[in-house]
Amino acid sequence: MVVPFGYNVHANGIRHHLVRHVGSGRHPLLLVPGITSPAVTWDFVASGLVDEYEVHVLDVRGRGLSQAGDLDYSLDAMADDVVDLVSKLGFDRPVVLGHSMGARTAIRAARKAPKAFGGLILADPPVSGPDRRVYPSAWAWYEDSILLAQRGCSADDMKAFCPTWTVEQRALRAEWLHTCELHAIKAAYDGFHADDVHADLPHIDVPMRLIVAGASPVIEAKDVTEIRSLAPAMDVVTVEGAGHMIPWDDLNGFLQAVAGFKANIDEAAHGSR
């Protein structure tokens, strides 16, 4: 049984909280969740990765138990957090697994520090940006659910926002969503439309895998074609039938989509010698 434990690290000028999951795997993996997902909500995913990795799940600034308040919540600030955390923690060529906003953060971090990472697993990153189509989830969905959580709510109350989730999943979201600083979430949401991560992709020279949610409107076939044109070596795996929150819909499918990626890193490292 994997028993996670939390710890705090000072990096990039603020306090970060992470949850570590340890099994037989020894290669470090930093998991960067999406826009409103504190680290604890990814425990069930992280525990499925520990045979291959030592997993560290980040509470992104302004969420969970990491520092919040009057901070910079831009994509660049979150990317700088990842770069400095990897340095402070002494990770050697870690994998960064980012979901949604976390995937965009991973892309920007790898652009900023190309030698810091062994590889990127990018789970359904929003492909919105300047002069691109808008992100398919409306802002009101985030604002209304966070304000409800701030007042105190139940798993039943969360059903209106997450109708396909289990009672346990909705209860955990109801418990932790209030820790998501509203203006941090708004800054990230606005960044989906203002930040151009496509421009970063051609500058990243580490193994990358794109995991597409097959039943989500976030990434369409034409987006995969464009991403492959910008990063020709990108692996692409589709989890058919899964919505944007892929592991919540199909945990086994998500774990299978991640499986084997470390071999790409080992091959790249061997080829660079």
In tens, the pLDDT along 23-52 reads 999 999 999 999 999 999 999 999 999 999
**152: in domain:** no
**170: in domain:** no
Are the C-beta atoms of residues 146 and 174 closer than 8 Å to each other? Answer: no
User: Which residue in this structure is represented by tokens 């604890």?
Assistant: 40
In tens, the pLDDT along 176-216 reads 999 999 999 999 999 999 999 999 999 999 999 999 999 99
**139: in domain:** no
**248: in domain:** yes
In tens, the pLDDT along 128-151 reads 999 999 999 999 999 999 999 999
**59: in domain:** yes
Residue 15 neighbours by CB distance under 10 Å: 14
Tell me the CATH number at 48: 3.40.50.1820
Predicted pLDDT of residue 269 = 75
**161: in domain:** no
Token representation of residue 167 = 């009672």
> Does residue 270 have a pLDDT over 90?
no
By percentage, how much of the chain surpasses pLDDT 90?
94
Positions annotated as catalytic residues are 100, 220, 244
Kindly report the average pLDDT of the chain as a whole number.
96
Where in the sequence is the domain holding 21, given as residue range(s)? 5-130+194-271
**221: in domain:** yes
> Does residue 273 have a pLDDT over 60?
no
In tens, the pLDDT along 52-61 reads 999 999 999 9
pLDDT (mean) for 217-235: 98
Are the C-beta atoms of residues 82 and 47 closer than 8 Å to each other? Answer: no
User: Which residue in this structure is represented by tokens 């910079």?
Assistant: 72
Predicted pLDDT of residue 267 = 80
In tens, the pLDDT along 76-107 reads 999 999 999 999 999 999 999 999 999 999 99
Please state the three-class secondary structure of the chain as a single string.
CCCCEEEEEEECCEEEEEEEECCCCCEEEEEECCCCCCHHHHHHHHCCCCCCEEEEEEECCCCCCCCCCCCCCCHHHHHHHHHHHHHHCCCCCCEEEEECHHHHHHHHHHHHCCCCCCEEEEECCCCCCCCCCCCCCCHHHHHHHHHHHHHCCCHHHHCCCCCCCCHHHHHHHHHHHHHCCHHHHHHHHHHHHHCCCCCCHHHCCCCEEEEEECCCCCCCHHHHHHHHHHCCCCEEEEECCCCCCHHHHCHHHHHHHHCCHHHHHHHHHHHCC
**163: in domain:** no
- Count of domains in the chain? 1
